[in-house]
Structure 1
Amino acid sequence: MKLRTALMTASLLCAAYAQAGAVEPVGAPDFNIKTNVDLKTLTPANFYDVLLPAAKAEGHITFYDFGESENVIFAEIIRRFEAKYGVKVEYHQVDGEQAVQQLIAAKQAGQPSPADVFWMPNGSVRVADQAGIIANLPLNTMLPSAPDLEQNAATVSRGYVHGGKVVPYHRNLTAIGYDTRAFPNGNEPKSFAELLAFAKANPQKMAVTDPTRGGAGGGFLESAILAMTSKDCQAHLYDYTVSEADATAWANGPCMDPVLAYFRELRPNVEFTNGNTDSLNLMANGQAEVATVWEDEVYDFTGRGLLPPTVKSRLLTDGEVGDGDGAMMPSGATHVAGGLLFLDFLMSDEIQLYKLTVNGSRSARTKLDIEKALTADVTGRLVPQDQYLNYSRPRIVGAISDAAAKRFVETILQGS
């Protein structure tokens, strides 16, 4: 018993040391970024003491934002950051894919990165990392403001394992939107089976987004794949090394048969739409009582009065997929100390809760008490927290999702 206790104590001490220990590069013996800060002596405990003086000496950072409508949110975040640390932020809204190519071109030319922090599209992480433009910093463990990141969100971007180089600033969820006026007493459909029963009993009262034209439809298809395929088939859904050819073979094989059978039954009874907004507009006009949605869009639309307050969102008990976009430091960044402070600030309680109240953007922080921290007006427009914790699933490998969506269109929408 004493030996067992001693081993357990040693194990706990090693785990604690690893968590609080010095920063180590991800996937390499050395850091791929140059800085006057000795990164290997940096720990969560000395993070601010080491970085703040260096950041003040740098004076400013340059921040790239790929979002199309985040400028108001980031203006407030930047105002708070500058007030707290006295470090200026030069802000630029950019096209995500073009910015990645700009950073690659700068690296190839031997020039510094034009940005010190980049909130980037998750679908471009693979290209950016393989081009060597993402600093190999373990952001998933080194930022003291975010010790409780969900593992998958913190290490994987759209099926690509980056190991923690991209911090999950923004998360979102596909969900089912429903109008409570049509479902008193919580009788809304709660599973794929109940959705099908509702659609058959109420033809054209459900809107499903085309999975190739809106993320809500793609997420709905991925969720169905996770719910309806066998364990053998599911073994490939999170295989991040799968080739496009193998993904196509998977989607065109028998694994998809039960999923397509479900949608063949559903198809005559639902309205397929050409985008996420189209589905929400059908709900706003009362033409649909149920729709495939993004949780944050329902939050935004109800907050702005574009949807009636009776429209709510929920996750199916079979599980529904979510995703998100992260922020990283380019390997050619020249204001490393300030950039790290900004990345840490983005993941803090204050900012993660702030952005959630503005646009419904979820957090990968697992210990944030949403129900306690936010008002009933905010939480009432979100998927209930217990559903988020119990039924949310990571999105499957992008190559399989794309191939499955292609087969879906050919088989279900085009009827071939």
Structure 2
Amino acid sequence: MKLRTALMTATLLCAAYAQAGATEPVGGPDFNIKTNVDLKALTPANFYDVLVPAAKAEGQISFYDFGESENVIFAEIIRRFEAKYGVKVEYHQVDGEQAVQQLIAAKQAGQPSPVDVFWMPNGSVRVADQAGIIANLPLNTMLPSAPDLEQNAATVSRGYVHGGKVAPYHRNVTAIGYDTRAFPNGTEPKNFAELLAFAKANPQKMVVTDPTRGGSGIGFLESAILAMTTKDCQARLYDYTVTEADAAAWANGPCLDPVLAYFKELRPNVEFTNGNTDSLNLMANGQAEVATVWEDEVYDFTGRGLLPPTVKARLLTDGEVGDGDGAMMPSGATHVAGGLLFLDFLMSDEIQLYKLTVNGSRSARTKLDIDKALTSDVTNRLVPQEQYLNYARPRIVGTISDAAAKRFVETILQGS
């Protein structure tokens, strides 16, 4: 009775505000999620009035976290959310790809989703959305806590245009990690040419993550593609209609030749690792002085003492690609009001600033006052803000990235 009353109230409130604006489904006339809340009448203006009582009546939500080391951060986020709204969060740390398959299986069996909010890997968004397991909610415009989302981050995941169904909770950027003990007074390599010169002069002191084994490696390859290909070739790099066949033709044609020529020259002088952590471990034990990295991992590892404080991260002046992972509501979710409140909370000033200070997780919020979070402890472990603003680039479309990585492995790692 309590839930029914709350949902009836939510419906009436939505109707009362309907003239102030409407929430439209992404990519179709109807929402693909069942709820008694009138989603089309839900607006940023009535969002909390409608959803808070309905969420309290639902009582709880279930949340999936695909990350490997974010459980402590989410424990604090959940504590704050529960204290604010009185809605319990059932937390599960999951394997991202397996969780996607679990949701697909549930949908195919006609069963409800086992989770209401899923922080998922960007690389799985295409598969999940095409399988119909992502609710077609316009999260890029309907969340009142996040009116200032960067357009690409809010609508594209790993080169796949989802149109706003996935909230860009976490952003990061690939970078070059370097040990200041080897590079006093700002003498570290600052572009691709200087990296090559360093590697030749200091064999095996630079490590590059295998592009098929870790995100920093594929990010390094994508950054090289953006820096070294012609304008004609770059015309396809952000074309989200590129098919796998088109991408294979692009990667196997002359466009990638200057990039592969660079890596052929670099290859004998560097060590390729099997993952991001392997690269950082070689920095930690002093075997490497330069490495391909993620900014947030350097921030996290130095903060936990897993890397010496002399290790810093910077962006190449040629530009470096960034990405991130988003949170969505499955189309089979059963606690829609609470799930929407939690998604809104994840994108709020409070949480976006909190995660930045804890693990260096950047935000897609363009008007967020990050100066509130940037104490000296934070700034010393982050890429300098000026570099981030000037040199960070969006990742290229996933189909071309995958095809380029395949040719890279065949030509550079497996070639003679």
Shift of 1:21: 3.0
In structure 2, how many angstroms separate the alpha carbons of the residues matched to 1:379 and 1:100? 36
Seen in structure 2, the aligned counterparts of structure 1 residues 193 and 4 have a Cα distance that, compared at 3 Å, is farther
8 Å Cα contact 1:220/1:292 also seen in 2: yes
8 Å Cα contact 1:19/1:141 also seen in 2: no
8 Å Cα contact 1:123/1:157 also seen in 2: yes
Seen in structure 2, the aligned counterparts of structure 1 residues 189 and 111 have a Cα distance that, compared at 3 Å, is same
8 Å Cα contact 1:20/1:44 also seen in 2: no
Shift of 1:151: 0.8
Shift of 1:329: 0.8
Shift of 1:11: 32
Q: Which deviates more from structure 2 when the two are superposed, residues 75-84 or residues 193-202?
A: 193-202
Secondary structure of 1:61's counterpart equals: strand
Seen in structure 2, the aligned counterparts of structure 1 residues 278 and 10 have a Cα distance that, compared at 3 Å, is closer
Seen in structure 2, the aligned counterparts of structure 1 residues 83 and 236 have a Cα distance that, compared at 3 Å, is same
8 Å Cα contact 1:219/1:320 also seen in 2: yes
In structure 2, how many angstroms separate the alpha carbons of the residues matched to 1:14 and 1:112? 25
In structure 1, how many angstroms separate the alpha carbons of the residues matched to 2:109 and 2:7? 52
8 Å Cα contact 1:66/1:119 also seen in 2: yes
In structure 2, how many angstroms separate the alpha carbons of the residues matched to 1:400 and 1:143? 32
Shift of 1:20: 7.6
Shift of 1:266: 1.5
In structure 1, how many angstroms separate the alpha carbons of the residues matched to 2:353 and 2:77? 12
Shift of 1:52: 0.6
In structure 2, how many angstroms separate the alpha carbons of the residues matched to 1:34 and 1:4? 15
Seen in structure 2, the aligned counterparts of structure 1 residues 88 and 333 have a Cα distance that, compared at 3 Å, is same
Shift of 1:415: 2.6
8 Å Cα contact 1:370/1:385 also seen in 2: no
2:409 corresponds to:
409
Shift of 1:111: 2.1
In structure 1, how many angstroms separate the alpha carbons of the residues matched to 2:63 and 2:411? 44
2:105 corresponds to:
105
Seen in structure 2, the aligned counterparts of structure 1 residues 93 and 7 have a Cα distance that, compared at 3 Å, is closer
8 Å Cα contact 2:63/2:118 also seen in 1: yes
Seen in structure 2, the aligned counterparts of structure 1 residues 337 and 179 have a Cα distance that, compared at 3 Å, is same
Q: 1:342-399: per-residue Cα shift (whole Å, max 9, x none)?
A: 0000011111111122222111111223234331101210111121121111111222
1:243 corresponds to:
243
- What is the TM-score of this pair, normalised by structure 2? 0.92
8 Å Cα contact 1:371/1:379 also seen in 2: no
In structure 2, how many angstroms separate the alpha carbons of the residues matched to 1:305 and 1:149? 33
In structure 2, how many angstroms separate the alpha carbons of the residues matched to 1:379 and 1:273? 28
In structure 2, how many angstroms separate the alpha carbons of the residues matched to 1:146 and 1:218? 30
Shift of 1:27: 1.1
8 Å Cα contact 2:140/2:165 also seen in 1: yes
Shift of 1:6: 44
Q: Which deviates more from structure 2 when the two are superposed, residues 87-96 or residues 103-112?
A: 103-112
Shift of 1:315: 0.6
Q: Which deviates more from structure 2 when the two are superposed, residues 274-283 or residues 112-121?
A: 274-283
8 Å Cα contact 2:23/2:43 also seen in 1: yes
Fraction of identical pairs, as percent: 93
8 Å Cα contact 1:206/1:270 also seen in 2: yes
In structure 2, how many angstroms separate the alpha carbons of the residues matched to 1:235 and 1:13? 47
1:203 corresponds to:
203
- What is the TM-score of this pair, normalised by structure 1? 0.92
8 Å Cα contact 2:173/2:323 also seen in 1: yes
Runs of 4+ off more than 4 Å: 1-20
How many residues matched? 416
8 Å Cα contact 2:10/2:51 also seen in 1: no
8 Å Cα contact 1:206/1:291 also seen in 2: yes
8 Å Cα contact 2:302/2:308 also seen in 1: yes
Seen in structure 2, the aligned counterparts of structure 1 residues 231 and 2 have a Cα distance that, compared at 3 Å, is farther
Seen in structure 2, the aligned counterparts of structure 1 residues 12 and 240 have a Cα distance that, compared at 3 Å, is farther
Seen in structure 2, the aligned counterparts of structure 1 residues 43 and 183 have a Cα distance that, compared at 3 Å, is same
2:375 corresponds to:
375
8 Å Cα contact 2:7/2:36 also seen in 1: no
In structure 2, how many angstroms separate the alpha carbons of the residues matched to 1:86 and 1:197? 58
Seen in structure 2, the aligned counterparts of structure 1 residues 17 and 182 have a Cα distance that, compared at 3 Å, is farther
Shift of 1:122: 1.3
Shift of 1:96: 1.6
In structure 1, how many angstroms separate the alpha carbons of the residues matched to 2:38 and 2:178? 53
1:298 corresponds to:
298
Shift of 1:337: 0.8
Q: 1:275-324: per-residue Cα shift (whole Å, max 9, x none)?
A: 22222122222222211111111111111111110110011111101111
Q: Which deviates more from structure 2 when the two are superposed, residues 34-43 or residues 224-233?
A: 34-43
1:22 corresponds to:
22
Seen in structure 2, the aligned counterparts of structure 1 residues 11 and 126 have a Cα distance that, compared at 3 Å, is same
Q: 1:113-168: per-residue Cα shift (whole Å, max 9, x none)?
A: 11111111111111211121111110001111111111111101111100000001
In structure 2, how many angstroms separate the alpha carbons of the residues matched to 1:76 and 1:6? 28
Seen in structure 2, the aligned counterparts of structure 1 residues 24 and 373 have a Cα distance that, compared at 3 Å, is same
8 Å Cα contact 1:371/1:385 also seen in 2: no
Q: 1:252-271: per-residue Cα shift (whole Å, max 9, x none)?
A: 11001111111122222222
Q: Which deviates more from structure 2 when the two are superposed, residues 80-89 or residues 17-26?
A: 17-26
Q: Which deviates more from structure 2 when the two are superposed, residues 33-42 or residues 156-165?
A: 33-42
Seen in structure 2, the aligned counterparts of structure 1 residues 369 and 7 have a Cα distance that, compared at 3 Å, is same
Seen in structure 2, the aligned counterparts of structure 1 residues 150 and 12 have a Cα distance that, compared at 3 Å, is farther
In structure 2, how many angstroms separate the alpha carbons of the residues matched to 1:7 and 1:24? 20
Shift of 1:39: 1.3
Seen in structure 2, the aligned counterparts of structure 1 residues 346 and 316 have a Cα distance that, compared at 3 Å, is same
Q: Which deviates more from structure 2 when the two are superposed, residues 369-378 or residues 68-77?
A: 369-378
Secondary structure of 2:62's counterpart equals: strand
In structure 1, how many angstroms separate the alpha carbons of the residues matched to 2:250 and 2:107? 37
Shift of 1:64: 1.4
Shift of 1:18: 13
Seen in structure 2, the aligned counterparts of structure 1 residues 377 and 232 have a Cα distance that, compared at 3 Å, is same
Shift of 1:79: 0.6
In structure 1, how many angstroms separate the alpha carbons of the residues matched to 2:6 and 2:118? 45
8 Å Cα contact 2:64/2:94 also seen in 1: yes
8 Å Cα contact 2:14/2:42 also seen in 1: no
8 Å Cα contact 1:207/1:273 also seen in 2: yes
Shift of 1:55: 0.9
Q: Which deviates more from structure 2 when the two are superposed, residues 131-140 or residues 16-25?
A: 16-25
Taking only aligned residues, the RMSD between alpha carbons, in angstroms, comes to: 7.6
